[in-house]
Structure 1
Amino acid sequence: MKKKLLTLLMGTSLVLAACGGGGDEATEEKDNATNGGGETTTADAGDAQKLYDQKCSSCHGANLEGAVGPALDKIGANLSQEDIENTIANGKGAMPAGLLQGEEASQVAAWLAGKK
Structure 2
Amino acid sequence: MGSLKQCSVGAVIVFVLLLSACGGGTTGEAPNKDNSGEGTESSEAVALYKKRCISCHGTELQGRAGPNLQQVGAKLTEEEIVDVVSNGRKGMPKFESSLTTEQIQSLAAWLAEHK
TM-score of the two chains, using structure 2 as the length reference:
0.61
Worse-superposed segment, 81-90 or 93-102: 93-102
Amino acid at match of 1:78: K
- CA RMSD of the aligned region, Å? 1.3
Deviation digits for residues 20-39 of structure 1, max 9, x if unmatched? xxxxxxxxxxxxxxxxxxxx
| Contact 1:81/1:113 (<8 A) preserved | yes
Question: What SS is found at the alignment partner of 2:114?
Answer: coil
Unaligned runs of 5+ in 2: 1-39
1:92 alignment partner, one of 61, 80, 89: 89
Bigger Rg, structure 1 or 2? 2
Amino acid at match of 2:41: D
| Residue 63 (structure 1) aligned with residue 60 (structure 2) | yes
Unaligned runs of 5+ in 1: 1-42
Q: Is the alpha carbon distance of 1:76 and 1:95 closer, same or farther for their aligned partners in structure 2, counting shifts above 3 Å?
A: same
Pairwise CA distance, 1:76: 0.1
| Residue 104 (structure 1) aligned with residue 79 (structure 2) | no
- Corresponding residue pairs, total: 74
Deviation digits for residues 26-85 of structure 1, max 9, x if unmatched? xxxxxxxxxxxxxxxxx7332211110100010000110000000000000010000000
Q: 2:43 — aligned with what? A: 46
Question: What SS is found at the alignment partner of 1:44?
Answer: helix
